[in-house]
Amino acid sequence: MSRIETLKNLLESNPADEFTRYALALEYVSINEQDNAEEHFKELLANSPNYLAVYYQYGKLLEEKGETEEARKIYNQGLFVAASQNDLRTKTELQDAIDNLF
């Protein structure tokens, strides 16, 4: 069974599992299935907006798709969440991503 199949099965049994949804999105990114990855990133943001890791990865995906302004919005949302969680490392990573947008 592939990792994607395994993650999909896990998610089926527990749709609210943030880590599994995030891992599934990253697996889709790794095989360049951007639409599937984006679907899971969006779902994660809608249901778990405090899941901080998603903001950087989703922003990077949007950048790769050429959606720079959408990426900027996601990064900025992540900055707010990182600040509210006192996560200075992630806040710095997100700020760097914003600073490097073209």
Query: Which domains occur in the chain, in start order?
Result: 3-99 (1.25.40.10)
pTM: 0.93
Q: Cα separation of 91 and 10, whole Å?
A: 30
Q: Cα separation of 54 and 20, whole Å?
A: 12
pLDDT at residue 34 in the model: 96
Mean pLDDT by 10 residues, the chain (102 residues): 92 95 97 96 96 97 96 98 96 96 82
Sequence-distant (6+) residues with CB within 8 A of 101 are: 63, 68, 71, 72, 75
The answer to whether residues 60 and 71 touch, using CB atoms and an 8 Å cutoff, is yes
pLDDT at residue 1 in the model: 72
